[in-house]
Structure 1
Amino acid sequence: MSALEPGAELEPQDYLVTRADLVAYAGASGDHNPIHQDEAVARMVGLPGVIAHGMYTMALAARAVATWSDEAEVVELGCKFTAPVVVPAEGGATVRVAGTVKSVADGRATIALEVTCGGEKVLGAPKAVVRV
């Protein structure tokens, strides 16, 4: 885990999110809200289209943290859901997770995250703390 040193900019991780991923996540999480699978329903409630589950997007951030930290124990993970990840019917949407190690102290590394889709931040103030 030598990469987790204060000031280190971590290699951005890209994740393609498809409609099939949303169906699988709905089954695993029990969140079957139709805005995550049905274009007409999503648009009817004012969304630009089918959107990824916020918790799925957050899970992608956790996946990046696991990659960077060699799967260290996550002590804290948090964010605000600020913008939706719109997932088109064909292809998908790419979520990019970037990170910067803010501090390492008392056996813990604090990582400030930036989670974007199409250049737009989709999670506000995302942060992870891992045991090192």
Structure 2
Amino acid sequence: MTISTGSINDWRAGDVLEPQHYPVTRADLVRYAGASGDFNPIHWSDRIAGAVGLPGVIAHGMLTMGLTSRAVATWTGGAPIVDLGVRFTSMVVVPDTDEGTIVTIGGTVKSVEDGLVKIALQVTCDGQKVLGNPTAVVRG
């Protein structure tokens, strides 16, 4: 069954969560830098990003992780996330356009037991996985 939102008390292993799509623009990177204090120029300067061998300006890894937790909160209606595990495996390159890029987050319920729901996540940008083996555990 595909689930968009709702009570996680009704979820079962194998349920597929409706993908969430989040645009990321250069303006978002500037706002995130201000909020996080991470002003590394690879997150805003094409010149610096290129000089260090990157394909372009990249999103902060923690911003990508934050979008992942936002998707989980959307699906669960804000149920407490008790664990969120990710490996940063690829970059979210953000072009200098008004549209930016799109980070897509999908999920599949892996288990439901003892009031905890484990979700296997898929986080992609332009069809490429950007987080390796991301999982979330939420309390029902």
Calculate the TM-score normalised by the size of structure 2: 0.92
Match of 1:10 in 2: 17
CA contact (8 A) 1:15 1:95 kept: yes
Structure 1 position 6, deviation (Å): 1.1
Structure 1 position 4, deviation (Å): 2.8
Deviations 1:66-95 (A, max 9, x none): 011110000000100000000000020100
Stretches of structure 1 lacking an aligned partner (at least 5 in a row): none
Match of 1:19 in 2: 26
AA partner of residue 131 (structure 1): R
Please give the secondary structure, in 1, of the residue aligned with 2:47. helix
Structure 1 position 28, deviation (Å): 0.3
Match of 2:133 in 1: 125
CA distance in 1, matches of 2:44, 2:84: 27
CA contact (8 A) 1:85 1:122 kept: yes
Deviations 1:17-64 (A, max 9, x none): 000000000000011100000010001000000000000001111000
AA partner of residue 136 (structure 2): A
CA distance in 1, matches of 2:100, 2:33: 17
Please give the secondary structure, in 2, of the residue aligned with 1:35. helix
Is the aligned partner of 1:77 residue 2:79? no
Match of 1:64 in 2: 71
Among the aligned pairs, what percent are the same residue? Answer: 61
Question: How many residues in Structure 1 have an aligned counterpart in Structure 2?
Answer: 132
Cα RMSD of the aligned pairs, angstroms, is: 0.8
4+ long deviations beyond 3 Å = none
CA distance in 1, matches of 2:105, 2:76: 14
Is the aligned partner of 1:102 residue 2:110? yes
AA partner of residue 121 (structure 1): K
Calculate the TM-score normalised by the size of structure 1: 0.98
Counterpart of 2:37 (choices 11, 27, 30) is 30
CA contact (8 A) 1:10 1:98 kept: yes
